[in-house]
Chains A and B, each alone.
Chain A
């Protein structure tokens, strides 16, 4: 059973640029969520995808968008990057309505300069 994999692991972007982060969910998991974790803070929910549809969104602006593919992998896109977008972006997968914990990927460390 493979876990959650994210790519890239690290990324440096310039303010105003766009970025795409990728996530492959754990085998058997059909729900993918994205979280932003600033240094020293807890993860903050960005949005969740279930069966390729957005299934909830946190307090993030529309320039944060996402996709889920038929194989349950997912992308997080951020447009018009701002310095405050610098953070660890975590992808987490779960088995949807079943009461199991989330499996997190190792994250993508995004630095905006």
Chain B
């Protein structure tokens, strides 16, 4: 079945440093969704990318979808303690199952 891998598995950064997580698939993806899950919490939808090469920004977060629609990245500029959590990419639309990536756990060193 389809697998979506994320790297790195863990990332520890000093507060104020940048952070990037990468999502890779062996097959072409119809879309990419990104979710954030705080420790002890539940996944919260951040954004969806659909078009090849698409780039979207949300304040300090930049999301990219690769030209071949097989990879995606989430970049956070100048991390803050509120960015702590696990970031998941996922593939699937509203009437399909979501296949989640393996996740990247971000911890911030104050």
Q: Does B42 touch A at the CB level, under 8 Å?
A: yes
Residues on A facing B (Cβ under 8 Å): 31, 33, 35, 41-45, 48, 50, 55-56, 58, 88, 90, 92, 94-107
Find chain A residues with CB under 8 A from B93 CB. 97, 99
Would you call A56 and B96 a contact (CB within 8 A)? yes
Number of A-B contacts (CB under 8 A): 71
Q: Which 4 A-B pairs have the closest CB atoms?
A: A101-B45, A42-B100, A94-B94, A45-B97
Contacts of A102 in B (CB 8 A): 33, 43, 45, 94, 98
Q: How many residues of B contact A (CB 8 A)?
A: 24
A95 near B98 with CB under 8 A, answer no
Is A31 in contact with B48, judged by CB distance below 8 angstroms?
no
Give chain A residues whose Cβ lies under 8 Å from the Cβ of B102. 41-42
Give chain A residues whose Cβ lies under 8 Å from the Cβ of B47: 101
Question: What is the bound-complex CA distance between A50 and B88, given in angstroms?
Answer: 24
B95 with A31: CB separation less than 8 A: yes
Say whether A101 contacts B33, CB under 8 Å.
Answer: yes
**Are A97 and B95 also in contact (CB < 8 A) when A42-B88, A42-B100, A42-B103 are?**
yes
Cβ contact within 8 Å between B98 and A45 = yes
B31 interface residue per 8 A CB criterion: yes
What are 19 inter-chain pairs, A to B, with CB distance below 8 A? A31-B94, A33-B97, A41-B102, A42-B102, A42-B103, A43-B98, A45-B97, A56-B97, A88-B42, A92-B98, A94-B95, A98-B94, A99-B94, A100-B94, A101-B35, A101-B46, A102-B33, A102-B45, A104-B45
